[in-house]
């Protein structure tokens, strides 16, 4: 029993010594104001907190295409190099008679072209037909016959006619190609390029039945601007960039 007691006391004493050593190490550590500064921000090694730069990054407005080769509705926004951000509006087309105040703003963002394989396309709509689904397409032409087209995705409006969607895809250099005719080429921002450039944006009713009901026109013809469900089950164009010159 005495041996066990001595062993217990020794263990307790050893624990007290270890705790004392640990506390001493903490109290004699690095100075409180010691920090490691990398130039981008600093980390306080005592508190573990981080600080952030206090100066704003330098913005620049990059050149986009050339004068006379881009629609006047396109705005290039200031951004941090190498980001490119452009914006342009869409206007009512097939819904103009009943929804003349409908608006849409398209924002296209290109990050670092050396590391990103896609762009970001944001569509924000207001005062559109409520509770409806619309398809977004990149097209060769902004008006009929629209030419080549690429499906992007859907925008679904709320009860107040607003809605927004964010898509990730190639936008600035989108094109349609026909491998049966490799000689087809068209100009883009970089010069002569393969295929047919898709430099416009439009929105369509995704279903002809909904379009006929919303627009009170049972004679509306269907269009192919939606996948599946029959060749011409989609409705007419609702919004267009309305430009002859490219917007993207």
What is the tens place of the pLDDT at every residue in 134-162?
999 999 999 999 999 999 999 999 999 99
Q: Is residue 172 part of a domain?
A: yes
Contact 175, 142 (CB under 8 A): no
Contact partners, residue 125, CB within 8 Å, separation at least 6 = 90, 102, 103, 104, 134, 155, 157, 161, 162, 163, 164, 203, 239
Residue 147 placed within a domain: yes
- Residue 101 φ then ψ, to 5°: -95, 5
Structural domain contains residue 224: yes
Beta strand 191-194 with 185-188 is antiparallel
Query: Residue 179 has which token pair?
Result: 């491998």
- To which H or E segment does residue 104 belong? strand 103-110
Other CB atoms within 10 A of residue 215 CB? 19
User: Which residues 6+ apart lie within 8 Å of 164 measured at CB?
Assistant: 122, 123, 124, 125, 155
Asked if residue 154 lies in contact with residue 148, where contact means CB atoms within 8 angstroms, the answer is: no
In a domain, 101, yes or no: yes
Exposed, middle or buried, 230 (CB in 10 Å: 0-12/13-18/19+)?
exposed
| CATH number reported for the structural domain that contains residue 174 in this entry | 2.60.40
| Percent of residues, the chain, with pLDDT higher than 70 | 76
How many independent structural domains does the chain possess? Answer: 1
Question: Per the domain annotation, does 58 fall within a domain?
Answer: no
Q: Does position 87 have pLDDT exceeding 70, yes or no?
A: yes
| Percent of the chain whose pLDDT exceeds 90 | 60
155, part of any domain: yes
Kindly state whether residue 7 falls inside one of the protein's structural domains.
no
DSSP H helical ranges for the chain: 2-27, 208-214
Range of the domain at 83: 75-240
Confirm whether 154 is domain-assigned.
Answer: yes
Residue 180 has a pLDDT of 80
């Amino acid at each position: 029993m005495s041996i066990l007691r001595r062993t217990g006391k020794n263990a307790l004493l050893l624990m007290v010594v270890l705790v004392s050593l640990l506390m001493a190490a903490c109290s004699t550590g690095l100075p409180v104001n010691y920090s490691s500064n990398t130039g981008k921000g600093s980390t306080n090694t005592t508190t573990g907190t981080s600080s952030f730069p206090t100066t704003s990054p330098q913005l620049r407005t990059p050149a986009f295409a050339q004068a006379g080769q881009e629609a006047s509705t396109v705005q290039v926004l200031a951004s941090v190099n190498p980001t490119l951000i452009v914006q342009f509006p869409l206007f009512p087309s097939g819904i103009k008679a009943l929804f003349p105040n409908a608006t849409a703003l398209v924002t296209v963002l290109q990050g670092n072209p050396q590391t990103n394989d896609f762009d970001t396309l944001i569509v924000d709509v207001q005062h559109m037909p409520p509770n409806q689904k619309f398809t977004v397409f990149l097209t060769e032409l902004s008006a009929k016959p629209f030419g080549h087209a690429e499906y992007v995705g859907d925008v679904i409006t709320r009860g107040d006619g607003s809605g927004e969607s964010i898509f990730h895809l190639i936008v600035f250099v989108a094109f349609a190609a026909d491998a049966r005719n490799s000689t087809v080429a068209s100009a883009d921002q970089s010069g002569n390029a393969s295929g047919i450039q898709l430099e416009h944006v439009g929105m369509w009713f995704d279903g002809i039945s909904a379009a006929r009901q919303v627009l009170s026109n049972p004679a509306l013809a269907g269009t192919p601007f939606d996948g599946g469900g029959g060749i011409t089950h989609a409705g007419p164009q609702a919004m267009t960039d309305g430009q002859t010159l490219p917007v993207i």
